[in-house]
Amino acid sequence: MKVAVIGAGFGGLAAALDLVKAGNSVTVFEADAVPGGLAAGFKEPGWDWSVEKFYHHWFTSDKYMFHLFQELGLQDKVLILNPKTVMYHNGKFYPFDSIPSALLYPGLGYGINKIRFGLVGVYLRMTKNWKPMEKTTVAEWMSKYAGEKVYREMWEPMVIGKFSEKHAGKVNMAWMWARLHARTTKLATYMGGFQAFVDDMAGILVEKDVQFRYNTRVTRLEKETDGVISVHTGDNVEEFDKVLVTISPAQLARMAPQLPEEYLKGLLELKSMGAVVMVIALKHQLSKEGYYWYNLPKSAGFPFLALVEHTNFMPAERFGGSHLIYCGDYLEPGHEYFQFTKEELLERFIPSFKRINPDFSPDWITNSWVSRTNYAQPVPLLNHSQNIPSIKTPLDGLYFASMSQVYPWDRGTNFAVEIARRAAAIMLK
């Protein structure tokens, strides 16, 4: 078969591997100049390693990734560490990366709330029965089982931060189950950063004769009368027996208007949040305690959801001695941060750094980079499993594997690989 894969993110690359291994001719179309998609990185002069545009790590439970490392013979380049996550409460930060440390967190008060929090945490880690949970919201389920105080203090800020006030009250509990069920405190990355992994994998695919077309945006997919699918890229048109699309549902709907109305409607009804993430290089370490991940409640006046000091995960020496922090937020695409210049964003963000380290001074900043995307986080509403578009679309020969279909799991490279490999298996049947 002659197969096209649209998108060279983790999903597209994983599918290309299986499709080429099965003896097909595979062409990957990528709008960007490099592979990696949302997990791509950049490297400044003087840096040995790249850093992801949007903060990234793997959990040690990311079994599809770890299987892929083994399969590609790249497992020796994976680094596993135990960086510290903290939560804010009344002007201070407290470690929050295990049930015991969470139990010491003062925001929950003492006594019954802590017991309920602990029991709910253990239950969600143990149970696999997520399906009934999608019928109820995080707010309802957590208030009922963990208690109102625990919900308001612990989970509501996270759900609002991730999904905005508009959607927070409607997010289903299966999404929260998936996060708490699958995540680990140990985190992993790749020597050289995620971009180095993607480059290694793309190199292996090239050796296997996969064709990569970078800087090539696909504008239209058309089913021809002789059964093939034509892939339109600007002035060029190429024909393929089968096509796998790994981009957002809204983009697929625009690209393939021949899809039946019902399927198109399903694609367009899926909601997602965008993200604005800034990487800032500092002369000095920001977190004196060496914390990696700060969860920040909007209600306490922080202008972003998370502050992540990457160089408390990976050493600053990899980045020419610069200390790198991320300031990240999930936002509706119309949010003002999508229009702000880099300078305007910095002006908004800088005052909060003193709340992390009172010694911080703006002259610590040596450089900054901003990345924005409209498609960062699918929003799982009630009974969401009924809204997931099928991998095999009703247009014969056209397949779809995206972040929006990995539900109940939260989006991540691990699940991008899983769904894309599942799509490749269906295409090969």
Ligand X SMILES: Cc1cc2nc3c(=O)[nH]c(=O)nc-3n(C[C@H](O)[C@H](O)[C@H](O)COP(=O)(O)OP(=O)(O)OC[C@H]3O[C@@H](n4cnc5c(N)ncnc54)[C@H](O)[C@@H]3O)c2cc1C
Q: Binding to ligand X by residue 43, rule CB under 6 A?
A: no
- The one among 5, 11, 107, 154 contacting ligand X by CB under 6 A: 11
24 touches ligand X (CB under 6 A): no
Determine, following the binding rule CB under 6 A, whether residue 15 of this chain makes contact with ligand X: no
How many of the chain's residues bind ligand X (CB under 6 A)? Answer: 36
Among 414, 423, 424, 427, binds ligand X (CB under 6 A): 414
Options 3, 264, 275, 279; binder of ligand X; rule CB under 6 A? 275
Angle between helices 138-145 and 156-168 (to 10 degrees): 140
Nearest to 26 by CA among 221, 232, 218, 211: 211
Is-cis flag, bond preceding 45, omega within 30? no
Closest to 292 in 3D by CA, of 316, 318, 325: 325
Cβ closest to ligand X, residue 146 vs residue 255 = 255
Nearer to ligand X, 9 or 297 (CB): 9
Do the Cβ atoms of 263 and 405 come closer than 8 Å? no
Q: Applying CB under 6 A, does 421 fall inside the site for ligand X?
A: no
CB of 148 to ligand X, least distance (A): 30
* Sites for ligand X among residues 319-378 (CB under 6 A): 328, 373, 376
Cβ–Cβ under 8 Å, residues 310 and 51: yes
In the complex, minimum distance from the CB of residue 144 to ligand X, in angstroms, rounded to a whole number? 30
Is the Cβ–Cβ distance between 3 and 241 less than 8 Å?
A: yes
Strand order from edge to edge, sheet including 187-190: 58-59, 187-190, 78-81
Out of 4, 10, 17, 267, the residue judged to bind ligand X by CB under 6 A: 10
Q: How many CB atoms lie within 10 A of CB 324?
A: 24
Residue 56 near ligand X by CB under 6 A: yes
Q: How far is CA 255 from the centre of its chain?
A: 23
* Residues 133/168, Cβ–Cβ less than 8 Å: no
Is residue 217 involved in binding ligand X (CB under 6 A)? yes
177 contacts ligand X (rule: CB under 6 A): no
Token reading at 245: 């699309």
Looking at the Cβ atoms of 31 and 124, the one nearer to ligand X is 31
Q: 389 to 408, contacts with ligand X by CB under 6 A?
A: 402-403
Run of H or E including 82: none
Counting contacts by CB under 6 A, is residue 32 touching ligand X? yes
Q: Judged by CB under 6 A, which stretch of 5-13, 85-93, 104-112, 378-386 contacts ligand X?
A: 5-13
Give φ, ψ of 317 to 5 degrees. -60, -30
Minimum CB separation from ligand X for residue 416, in Å? 4
- With CB under 6 A as the contact rule, the residue among 19, 20, 24, 37 that binds ligand X is 37
**88 is a contact residue toward ligand X (CB under 6 A):** no
- Count, residues in the chain: 429
Instruction: Name the residue nearer to ligand X (CB basis): 117 or 190.
Output: 190
If one asks whether residue 162 binds ligand X (CB under 6 A), the answer comes out as no
By CB under 6 A, residue 305 contacts ligand X: no
- List the one residue from 201, 413, 421, 427 that touches ligand X (CB under 6 A): 413
Buried-exposed string 388-418: b where 16+ CB fall within 10 A, e elsewhere: bbebebebebbbbbbbbbbbbbbbbbbbbbb
Task: Considering only the stretches 111-119, 262-270, 288-296, 413-421, report the one whose residues sit in contact with ligand X under the rule CB under 6 A.
Answer: 413-421
Which residue, chain included where needed, has tokens 């991730």?
Answer: 162
**Residue 246 binds ligand X, judged by CB under 6 A:** yes
Confirm or reject binding of residue 167 to ligand X (CB under 6 A).
no
* Interaction between residue 310 and ligand X (CB under 6 A): no
Torsion over CA: 337, 307, 189, 422 (sign): negative
Contacting residues for 412 by C-beta, under 8 A, at least 6 apart: 62, 406
Task: Establish if 8 lies at the interface with ligand X (CB under 6 A).
Answer: yes
424 binds ligand X (CB under 6 A): no
Residue 69 within binding range of ligand X, rule CB under 6 A:
no
Q: How far apart are CA 380 and CA 162, in angstroms?
A: 11
Spatial separation of the C-alpha atoms in residues 308 and 324, rounded to whole Å: 8
Residues that bind ligand X (CB under 6 A): 6-12, 29-32, 37-39, 54-58, 217-218, 246-247, 251, 275, 277, 328, 373, 376, 402-403, 411-414, 416
